[in-house]
Structure 1
Amino acid sequence: MINSITLAGFTSFIDNSFSFVNGVNVLIGKNGTGKTHVLKCLASALQARHEFLAKQTTSKEQFEYTLAENVTHYFKPDFIGNLVNKSMVASKAFVKVAVDDKDLAFSFSATSKTTVKIEGDDKWGECQFIYIPPREMFSLFEGFIGLSSKRELSFDQTYINLAHSLALPVLRDIEGNPLKSAIELLESELGFKVLQMNGRFYIQTAEGNMEAHLVAEGLRKLASILYLILNGEINAKTILFWDEPESNLNPALIRVVAEFIRELQKCGLQIFIATHDYLLTHMLSLYSEYKEHTGVCVRFFGLHKEEGSIAVEESDTLTAIQNNPILEEYAAFYDLEQKYMSSYE
């Protein structure tokens, strides 16, 4: 599991640490508070480790280059030095990620172009992970891999990795899939199955097959996650990063997503979520409050801007998060509603 991350002078962060649970980790906050940056920083570090182990080399310089390359691919700056917080006097960023209680620490300056400096490396092993970005890849999949290998695209590494994961065929032993309960839950709630034929995705219903392009975007997103379980890219040992699960979903499906996340965590996955959704966060908080019955372990991270920097609150439930912009907006709407109602009395 991922234990923690420390970010100092990195993008919006001055000096912040996050301690994660081996369950569901939920990041909330207004736009621009760094929720996605936390997820991408974690994923890029895991990706760099994966690529470095595949190279079968012990060169520190090679790992520094691989790490910088992945951070750049995930964040898409002109050069990595642009990720240093502009308000920092030292003009230096420091990142430390702990996996299985083993630390990887690195830094880079505002003038860095293509490399970082390893400050410490306890050399954790291979970690399987997958990153689900806000925009769906299900309908874009056809031809995307070939295009991304030949052309410079505006898509960051999360979309390219997702396309490669979707390219794999389904596992033969579906009945023995450790996430079978999650598959059945999603197929039952959505009322369809997922197929890939000749490089295209289809939704299979009782009425027949329908091309992915003809399905609503929110459903395409859930269909892609279902397929990733069927082909083994999401399994009981996978670390799942899911950025804005509520994107393009009708509120009626948010309950399904919450139940699906609950089932995945019960199957053993460590999950990281960045969200703005009221219902999703409150359902996960409810699961946490009654975890002796639900079996779900949840930790919330409330991010907000405070005197030019990012402040972070941590709690197992939403009630202890003082700066909750989701709840604040609903409260503001209630006040506005009361104002209009009183004006007509």
Structure 2
Amino acid sequence: MTAIKQIRIRNFTVFEHTDISLSEGINVVIGKNGTGKTQLLKLLYAGTLMPSRGRRLLASCFGLHLGDDNLLRDKAQLYSDIWLDTAEESHEVLTVSHFKTDVRYRFGCSMNLFTTEVPPMVYIPVKDMLTHAKGLLAMADKYQDFPFDQTLLDIIRKANQWKLREVPDLAVKILPHLEQVMEGKVVIENEEFYIKKHDGRLVKFSVEAEGIKKIGLLWQLLMNESITKGSLVLWDEPEANLNPDFFPVLVECLLELSRQGVQIVLSTHNYLFAKYFDVRRKQSDMLAYHSLYADASGAVACETKPHFADLEHNAIMQTFDRLLDEVYHLQVGE
């Protein structure tokens, strides 16, 4: 199995000098707003794909232009380096350097693969894009300054691929649970996405519940084999807009994917969703919690633990505890 085991970040947005060791299974990333959760996911996505798709990808995934220096934490420094280490041994797989030429910064990259390959990758953003899929890619190709970053366009391309007639082995245990939640299956007609309900109704994505769209997107990515054994799935807040009743269903599906060789890195702000991974995990499951927090200097550091309750810097738990305190005071008084 090809998996990214470590990422080292230098002078990149909120990160000054941050090392993160990743689980080969599921990685749950938490932290307050502004601590770089989405930036970390985009960095993993763009940084890994840069050798095959060009150096412009890193900037475009952040909605910037090549040469923009807004990705640098400290613009006084002439460079920053990003390493992705993969597979059984620690190898420098990718180096992305920002260096100064005249009065602007630009991106350069080099790639050295040893015994490993870059994993197939999917980035699932918080924003629903399938509702807007019809004609959007054609417009993006036509207009140079299109107001969507690359990750939003890429997920439409992934979802638009032809799905298989038969359920892939990877998805056999998972799809029935997803179909139960959305009460149907995803179909595409004339570049538009629908859920064909079990009772025969065809419901357009634009009028479907936001949380159900997320379930439908995962179903489609499994059925068209955008997610396969050995894939890396990067998912920004999968629980957003999802009915909490469905949290355990989605957690079980993600755990099952990890058991079949899919590496997952996801971010969340939700206590119930984060905690369900600990509750539903098996002893053999590979799972790590990563808490991003600002250190004394204001730069972002990362704490990694195998269990949610082990985290010392736990913004979600702190918020939950404050709520319990308020409820207690309301019931019993001062």
Q: Same fold (TM over 0.5)?
A: yes
The partner residue of 2:313 within 303, 312, 323 is 323
User: CA distance change for structure 1 residues 117 and 259 in 2, over 3 Å: closer, same or farther?
Assistant: closer
Q: Which residue of 1 aligns with 2:64?
A: 77
One-letter identity of the residue aligned with 2:245: A
1:226 aligns with 2:213: no
8 Å CA contact 2:184, 2:195 repeated in 1: yes
Moved more, 100-109 or 133-142: 100-109
One-letter identity of the residue aligned with 2:302: V
1:149 aligns with 2:141: yes
The partner residue of 1:159 within 113, 134, 152 is 152
Matched residues, percent identical? 26
Q: Which residue of 2 aligns with 1:301?
A: 290
8 Å CA contact 2:120, 2:232 repeated in 1: yes
The partner residue of 2:112 within 121, 133, 143 is 121
Q: Which residue of 1 aligns with 2:191?
A: 199
Q: Which residue of 1 aligns with 2:86?
A: 99
Q: Which residue of 1 aligns with 2:17?
A: 15
* Correspondences of 1:208-219 after superposition (within 5 Å): 208=200, 209-219=202-212
8 Å CA contact 1:254, 1:280 repeated in 2: yes
Distance 1:285 1:157 in 2: 33
The SS at the match of 2:131 is coil
List alignment gaps of at least 5 residues for structure 1: 52-65
Distance 1:228 1:260 in 2: 13
Distance 2:118 2:85 in 1: 13
Moved more, 321-330 or 42-51: 42-51
Moved more, 230-239 or 91-100: 91-100
8 Å CA contact 1:179, 1:267 repeated in 2: no
User: CA distance change for structure 1 residues 198 and 319 in 2, over 3 Å: closer, same or farther?
Assistant: same
* Correspondences of 1:151-300 after superposition (within 5 Å): 151=143, 152-174=145-167, 176-208=168-200, 209-288=202-281, 291-292=282-283, 295-300=284-289
The SS at the match of 2:69 is helix
CA-based RMSD: 1.9
Q: Which residue of 2 aligns with 1:338?
A: 328
User: CA distance change for structure 1 residues 162 and 322 in 2, over 3 Å: closer, same or farther?
Assistant: same
Residue 89 (structure 1) shift: 5.3
Deviations 1:55-106 (CA, angstroms, capped at 9, x unpaired): xxxxxxxxxxx23x111011123534221113x7535322111122432223
The SS at the match of 1:245 is coil
8 Å CA contact 2:252, 2:280 repeated in 1: no
Return the structure number with greater helix share.
Answer: 1
Deviations 1:98-121 (CA, angstroms, capped at 9, x unpaired): 122432223214654432254x73
Distance 2:78 2:315 in 1: 30
One-letter identity of the residue aligned with 1:96: W
